[in-house]
Structure 1
Amino acid sequence: KYAILEDDYPSLNYAIQSRGFAFELIGVHKGNLEEHILKVIKNSKPDVLSLSIVQYISGLKIDLAFIKQLKQDNPNLIIIGDATQYLGTEPFDFIASGFDAVAGSGYKWLMAGFGNGYMMLSGELHSMLYTAARQRPGPKEPMLADKPIVDLYFEPGHQDTLSHGTLSQSVHFYKELNMNNIKEYLNELKDYAYQIFDERGWLLPVVKGSATKSLLINLQVPRETYPLLVEKGVRCFPRGSGIRIGLHLYNDKSDVDRLVTVLDQAL
């Protein structure tokens, strides 16, 4: 049985729902997400918890310290995280995180372009995959004979080495910048933006009340302002009840100020 979050990214939820697996939805719009997760884990005892670290509509971010403690308290619970909207914004230690699997696309915060992604598996989860296939004879061809069974299933055909290389270069770039430096810079920018947005009442209540804040922000402004924002060169997109923006390394406080000026004049 799976526990999944309401309105999470379709590639997470639909993969479970479309295959007929039993699941329970966890509400995310009433605040105290971590408390709701704990309640479901305690009462429904799911085998797997699947969630995005940062929700793609609201920008709500799960408390990573909570995930680590959750795994310690529930060692048999498999925890799967989508890090597409997260990885690349601060240091992340997968081994110590509490997640059994973390996967994502490289085109977002890793700035690695299209056509690539990543997946990290814990040793425990790795050993649970394709257990029946492990008992059967493997391919004998020299190019495949030494590949582990998980590699055979996850890499069944041709690979786009150009896309992989682009992801590799992004990882090298981030290492040169140092993830601690990146976190420090983005936290300062994030705090600056959230204060201004909060003063204007543009934050979702569930995000405003959360102790953890992400760099993906759903501004509660009329969706009709979207064409104007695009016209003014603001990269954004209508999501849910507002307009979603993202702050990253290439932004600074002047970008926040310009966005606010455009919206102040429009509202």
Structure 2
Amino acid sequence: MKNFKKQFPLLEQYTYLNAAASGLLSEALLDFRQEHDLDFLIGGSLFREQRNEVFLLARKAVGGLFGCAPNLVALTPNFSLCFNLLMAGIDPSKKVLLLKNDYPAVNWTVTSRGFDVCYAEINEDLEKNIAEAVAKERPDIFAFSLVQYIDGIKMDQEFLKQLKSQYPALLLFADGTQYCGTESFDFSTSALDVLGASAYKWLNAGYGNGFFLFKDHMQELFTSENLEVKELQSRNKPYHGSFIGKFEPGHLDTLNFGSLKVAVDLIKQVGMEEIETRIKDLSKLAKQKLSEKGMLENSVVNRKQHSSIFNIKGDEKLFQKFSGSRIICSQRGDGIRVSFNYFNTEADLDQLLKQIN
């Protein structure tokens, strides 16, 4: 499958460098949604009786892509909702390490609940800063984004494994919203205890769906007494009374989680290895070209590895110049954020660079 513009029609009209803000609607996803709503139209509650199969298939698809048993995959409308439920079930006396200026949905969820909080700086020495903070503060939990949403600084997975080896009792809770779908990842062999993500960005699954992956030992932290939503579980849900059921209060949406399954299937069809190769090659080239033009901060330039998200130096005038040239990107922090997904090409990068000259 090489003709990505055919699967994502918007690419025929725009240079789309905004996956970090929102993924695209694919032809495959549109076909599924139209068929889904037609089936609902003519089936009503008869159609809804098949919903548990939809959710099971979504769990299997997500678990298969990221290396997690389906019974430890929770389906959630977004990262923020499930992370709030997760932290609501954690003993508030625990000490939590955060990254300064990390994504608000991560940090606010922790700080608003009164946990004892400590911080590490986000810069070119990110991993060193974390190691020093853990050694000094001895937190019980480290909650963080795998890729930073403003400038794309990416956590070193090998460092996390070393950290976990040195501090096996330290729980690692990660937000993968800006990461999942960009490279191959096996949750089962990772250092993470929990990984959550909204799927509307790099997975191109549309809005209203996401997932959380849990290591098996996390079940021991959640008793029926310390997660208040337990009574909201519908008695006829297959996960009623289970660990995963605690994170799925109320009804789930067949349209959105069916969309998640279709999006994962499309990724498998393209091939995760090809996606990873395309993104890494384009990211490496973009970093080189943007660095040569002096458009990147040293905290990014000096990193050995980086994501495909870049915050380039630019003001409102440059942003409007991009917009006038049909380049879609976002203003974030003090600059302009551009991001490259597997459907982007060197021609897209060239178009961006042409406007910077």
Deviation at 1:203, TM superposition (A): 1.3
CA distance in 1, matches of 2:197, 2:151: 18
Task: Please show how residues 102-117 of structure 1 align to structure 2 within 5 Å.
Answer: 102-117=195-210
**CA offsets per residue over residues 66-122 of structure 1, 9 Å max, x none?**
111211211100001100001111100001110000001100000101000010011
Q: What is the letter of the counterpart of residue 7 of structure 1? A: N
One-letter amino acid of the counterpart of residue 169, structure 2? N
Q: Which residue of 2 aligns with 1:185?
A: 278
Residue 216 of structure 2: aligned partner: 123
- 1:236 deviates by 1.0
Higher RCO (CA < 8 A, seq sep 6+): 2
1:14 aligns with 2:111: no
Which residue pairs with 2:165 in the alignment?
72
Checking the alignment, whether the CA contact within 8 Å between 1:215 and 1:247 is kept in structure 2 is: yes
Aligned-partner residue type, residue 68 of structure 1 = K
- Residue segments in structure 2 that go unaligned for 5+ positions in a row: 1-94
Give TM-score, length-normalised by structure 1. 0.92
| Number of the residue aligned with 1:202 | 295
Deviation (angstroms), 1:194: 1.2
Deviation at 1:130, TM superposition (A): 3.0
Mapped to 2, the partners of 1:142 and 1:61 lie a distance apart of 42
CA distance in 2, matches of 1:247, 1:156: 35
Structure 1 match to 2:35:
none
RMSD between aligned alpha carbons?
A: 2.0
Residue matched to 2:21: none
Partner of 1:224: 317
Q: Classify 1:51/1:256 alpha carbon distance in 2 versus 1 (closer, same or farther; 3 Å).
A: same
Question: Any idea what SS the aligned residue of 1:211 has?
Answer: coil
Identity value in percent? 33
Is 1:81 aligned to 2:174, yes or no?
yes
Residues 145/232 of structure 1: CA separation in 2 closer, same or farther (3 Å cut)? closer
Deviations 1:39-67 (A, max 9, x none): 01111000000110000111100101111
Helix, strand or coil: the match of 2:328? Answer: coil
- Aligned pair count reads 261
What's the CA shift string for 1:162-187, capped at 9, x where partnerless? 01011111111111122111111211
Note if contact 2:234-2:250 (Cα within 8 Å) is conserved in structure 1: no
Return the letter of the residue paired with 1:26: A
Q: CA–CA distance in 2 between the matches of 1:151 and 1:79?
A: 18
Q: Secondary structure at the match of 2:225?
A: helix
> Which residue pairs with 1:236 in the alignment?
329
- Kindly provide the amino acid, as one letter, of the partner of residue 25 in structure 1: Y
SS in 2 for 1:114: coil
Equivalent in the alignment of 2:254: 161
Question: Unpaired runs of 5+ in structure 1?
Answer: none
Distance in 1 (alpha carbons) for counterparts of 2:258 and 2:324: 34
> Aligned-pair distance for 1:9?
0.6
Q: Structure 2 vs 1, CA of residues 171 and 207 (structure 1 numbering), >3 Å: closer, same or farther?
A: same
